Amino acid sequence: MPLRNLISGFAGSDLLYRIPALLIALTFHEVAHGYIAYKLGDPTAKQSGRLSLNPLRHIDPLGLLALLLVGFGWAKPVPVNPLYFRSDRRYGLFWVGLAGPLANFLLAFAAALLFVLLPVKSFVYLNFLQMLIIYNVFLGVFNLLPIPPLDGSKVLLYLLPARAAYSFSRLEKYGPPILLLLIFSGITGRILYPAATAVINAILSFAVFIKNIF
């Protein structure tokens, strides 16, 4: 199913569907970061109560305001201290960074399975699942962009050779203004939209494949 069909009417969708879908996507994203950090030896997220699926523990007031104004927002980053990692720090940050987007893609796939498998025609049910798929995929793809402070920068940092990784890490302080520039210039959207479209199509195609098997 093309993305343009999946999000038909998205702009006018009621916050009744958008807010729960976004809160679920953000919550699972942040909990995944904290859980993997905890498994690697870092108790920071657990001690701060961030391994909870309660969205209230993850809400960022500014991110929530952005949700109400422009339809998209963000959560408070889960605190991670790589000094606690039992493994190499770059290796640990790689998996902590990757965990959030992977959690979003898995959640989007679960929603896609429900979308194609369950014979429910409820408008509320279908709209909620659509929002859940869209938000999770867009959040996952966006965070994989290799720009600090996004998760993709931590993934890239691990994959680069040591010298290149060191040079890249020194650019981290310039990441946020670069990211804002890319967002407001529309460059991010030109990357994000086709990438998210491809991921959504792949997820829905696989969900349909699973349905046909059973």
Question: What are the extents of the domains in the chain?
Answer: 3-213
The yes-or-no verdict on residue 4 having pLDDT over 80 is no
Q: In this structure, are residues 179 and 85 in contact, taking their beta carbons and an 8 Å threshold?
A: no
Mean pLDDT score across all residues of the chain = 86
Q: Looking at residue 71, what is its pLDDT? A: 52
Active site residue 30: yes
Q: Looking at residue 168, what is its pLDDT? A: 86
Pick the more confident residue, 146 or 73: 146
Pick the more confident residue, 73 or 165: 165
Q: Looking at residue 180, what is its pLDDT? A: 79
Pick the more confident residue, 168 or 202: 202
The yes-or-no verdict on residue 14 having pLDDT over 90 is no
- pLDDT tier at 18 (50, 70, 90 boundaries)? confident
Q: What are the phi and psi torsion angles at 59 (to 5°)?
A: -70, 135
Answering whether pTM is above 0.75, one says yes
Q: Looking at residue 72, what is its pLDDT? A: 57
Q: Where are the alpha helices (DSSP H) in the chain?
A: 3-6, 15-39, 44-47, 61-70, 89-117, 123-143, 151-159, 162-170, 175-185, 187-213
CA distance 79 to 34: 7
- pLDDT tier at 3 (50, 70, 90 boundaries)? very low
Q: Looking at residue 57, what is its pLDDT? A: 92
Q: Looking at residue 10, what is its pLDDT? A: 43
- pLDDT tier at 70 (50, 70, 90 boundaries)? low
Question: What torsion do the CA atoms of 57, 130, 134, 199 make, to the nearest 10 degrees?
Answer: 130
The yes-or-no verdict on residue 73 having pLDDT over 70 is no
Ranking 10-24, 111-125, 177-191 by mean pLDDT, the lowest is 10-24
Single out the catalytic residue among 30, 33, 36, 67. Answer: 30
The yes-or-no verdict on residue 98 having pLDDT over 50 is yes
Q: Looking at residue 6, what is its pLDDT? A: 41
